[in-house]
Amino acid sequence: MDSNKYPIERRYIDRRSNVRPGTRLVTGNPAFFVAHDTGNPGATAEAHYRYLDRQTERTASAHVFIDDTRILEIIPTGTGADPAEQAYHVVRNVKTDNELYGYDANHAALGIELCFGGSIVFAAAYQRLVWYMGLCCSKWGKTPSTHIVSHRQLDPARKRDIDQALAVGGKTLGDLIRDVTAEMASAVRPAPEAAKLPADVRDHVIVSYIQPARHAALQQGLQEEAAHYERLAANVRAAAAGAGLPKSNAQEIIYSWLSPAWFAAKQAGGDAGRYNQMANALRVCAGIPLD
């Protein structure tokens, strides 16, 4: 998967016993991931950061809030340089987390909150949630169907998240897990390597056209024009090394030199085809359609 698809902002709330105790996860790295929604329609990741950074009365927090423009980690998760810390995102008196994973969620899991409703664009927020959960599963070798659990599954008597937020966009928890799995499987395709300009074309263009043009410019005292031909020659050499060629350079060489040479050879009954071949080699390097 593309580990750089979205930026992750890390802006941590202050350490306080009721929101961020500053204690490492007992498992070191996260053992599983609890999918939450904020239950606060319209409130953004930034709004939840400000709320929890000032909170002194309630014991509640989560690691990351995701809306349609931002992935904001407010307690270290381990995705960056800081080791993962504990947060208070599942009440302690439920036992489902211990039965499923052998640990209390607050001690061993990340709490990941989806912001929804109001002016928050669901599709954009959902895409960020899918990617972030895929990133976490990939980083720590977890399987989405096994290691992603909803808050509702852990505490069904009290909680409806993340299902209630997913329903806003016509999604289910099953959809989320399938989409995370697909995100993890998606390949990042490298940019295709530029076709190299054949060495014989490079040499012909530089020796037959560019160097004489540069020399003529110097003879006339046209320093800027001579410098242009020097840059053009450097670009042609780079194209032969696989760096590609600017379209304007290819067009200049074709229209100024190769096309007239092709026409002259054709008029004289000579080999005009080789000029067309050289022109096409330049077009390929520059990404121009072939004639």
- Look up tokens 């669901």; give the residue: 122
d(CA 74, CA 19): 10
The pLDDT, as a whole number, for residue 164 is: 97
State the alpha helices, DSSP H only, in the chain.
45-54, 96-101, 105-108, 122-140, 144-147, 151-154, 163-168, 173-185, 199-205, 211-219, 223-240, 247-253, 259-268, 273-286
The pLDDT, as a whole number, for residue 193 is: 60
Q: How far is CA 265 from CA 210, 259, 262, 269, in A?
A: 20, 10, 5, 6
Q: How far is CA 115 from CA 3, 76, 167, 211, 249, in A?
A: 22, 19, 13, 63, 50
pLDDT in tens, 67-126: 999 999 999 999 999 999 999 999 998 999 999 999 999 999 999 999 999 999 999 999
The pLDDT, as a whole number, for residue 272 is: 87
The pLDDT, as a whole number, for residue 289 is: 80
Neighbour tally for 58: CB within 10 Å: 11
Residue 61 pLDDT grade (very low, low, confident, very high; cuts 50, 70, 90): very high
The answer on pLDDT for 187 being more than 70 is no
20, β-bridge pairs: 16
In the 8-state DSSP scheme, what is residue 55? -
112, β-bridge pairs: 35, 64
CB 183 within 8 A of CB 175: no
Q: How far is CA 196 from CA 164, 258, 287, 288, 289, in A?
A: 55, 19, 12, 14, 16
CB 108 within 8 A of CB 25: yes
Domain boundaries, the chain: 9-185, 199-286
pLDDT in tens, 227-280: 999 999 999 999 999 888 999 999 999 999 999 999 899 899 888 899 999 999
The answer on pLDDT for 132 being more than 70 is yes
Fold type of domain 9-185:
Lysozyme-like (3.40.80)
Residue positions counted in the chain: 291
State the amino acid at position 39 in one-letter form. G
Q: Is this prediction's pTM over 0.95?
A: no
